[in-house]
Structure 1
């Protein structure tokens, strides 16, 4: 059973932690995903095998953590991640952010660079709420205004995903592309060319937007948004090693 952390905001965050050497590795999952996903578990197994400290957790409203998913927003999940890292890790960490977790990891690196030893993003989806709004039909926009929510089918769950007006409006204070993004730590972006949810132009735009001494983008031909084939998982682990300052 997972341990639980109570945040200053009163939310109960479920987490699993591996003790080990640093810099530790923290996995930040995507929208509606949880800490039991393929990438999180594979990275934990890799960390255990090498004696590395590792943390995976569920944002509020996700997985085993408290709260309802539809009540949450990017700022809430950013606060959850910040609380978990502050309370459950020691020293600067290597953040591995997948999809929405890439957005949250970029916020952490921008606002708390001293906490981040290195950054690895997997199909990072910064500002996806703005893209979502831009592609909504007139009917969906009216539903969002009148009911505060829109349901959209998902390739990752049998039930549709719910996007709320609060999610979109709150995110405007957490955008990445609306201000400079200087990242002094090593940054490695991983992106599949067959990703239908976060296409390659998003990664290229993010690469162009970032400034810093050590930023690289790796494109993997044929990889989709899940980025969970054995080859992709090996690449994630190898990339963590490259930014981690030590071999293992």
Structure 2
């Protein structure tokens, strides 16, 4: 078991991470909202990467896992800054990004920020623009008033304690939207989506692939799978699509 290491970012946050392997491209796992780098998908991919000698990075956004800060203080832009800081300081050369749920949004933001580094991408139930299209759009008048008065609202979760969604998260999210402006993905991309996902609708996946521009994008809808997308079948599928991006579609060190 490797020991957690820490990176101090230019913004003054302390990011926990695990880095392994030497062979490029570096596979970077970007987790979901309130998830951490000890999740099933992150650990499975790390084991897969170690068996290949593949360079691999997993980390906790600020306010998540072992990193500094609290979730309630964070927002999409903070976690984007964390992602940029981590890949800039801890990796060299081409990157293959694997983004799960909110991590899918982060993957797309990273592709906009440093397109020259991205060699491929696999997303799992990607949730771009969810602060606007899911949270804000779904708030009723009472919730919008509560957000204004208290600075936050609490939303139930199927997977853990309620999410406390801050006014800052909503307002910052509006600055990070990727489905309202051109989104160029000039590298191999797989979008993976379960048909039984109750957190991110399959309509989001369809909207994403229709909106994004690129010559090598594919969407795979997997019947019967939910938002976790982490049973043995799903894990093998993620692994195979990352391998395909690296080996079968021309990504090299």
Normalised by the size of structure 2, how large is the TM-score? Answer: 0.95
Query: Structure 1 residues 246, 18: closer, same or farther in 2, change over 3 A?
Result: farther
Partner of 2:136: 133
C-alpha deviation, 1:245, in angstroms = 3.2
C-alpha deviation, 1:111, in angstroms = 2.3
Please provide the CA RMSD for this pair: 1.0
Partner of 1:147: 150
Query: Could you list the runs of 5+ residues in structure 2 that have no partner in the other structure?
Result: none
Partner of 1:219: 221
Deviation by residue 1:112-168 (Cα, 9 ceiling, x = unmatched): 1111110110000000001211111221111101001000111111x2110000000
Partner of 1:238: 240
Partner of 2:184: 182
Alignment partner of 1:80 is 2:82: yes
1:23 counterpart SS class: strand
Partner of 1:229: 231
Indicate conservation of the 8 Å contact 2:198/2:226, yes or no.
yes
Partner of 2:58: 56
2:247 counterpart SS class: coil
Indicate conservation of the 8 Å contact 2:61/2:67, yes or no.
yes
Partner of 2:36: 34
1:182 counterpart SS class: coil
Partner of 2:20: 18
| Mapped partners of 2:113, 2:9: distance in 1 | 19
Q: How many residues align?
A: 246
| Mapped partners of 1:188, 1:126: distance in 2 | 15
| Mapped partners of 1:140, 1:82: distance in 2 | 33
Normalised by the size of structure 1, how large is the TM-score? Answer: 0.97
Which of the numbers 189, 194, 197 marks the counterpart of 1:195?
Answer: 197
| Mapped partners of 2:64, 2:137: distance in 1 | 26
Which of the numbers 155, 159, 173 marks the counterpart of 1:156?
Answer: 159
Query: Could you list the runs of 5+ residues in structure 1 that have no partner in the other structure?
Result: none
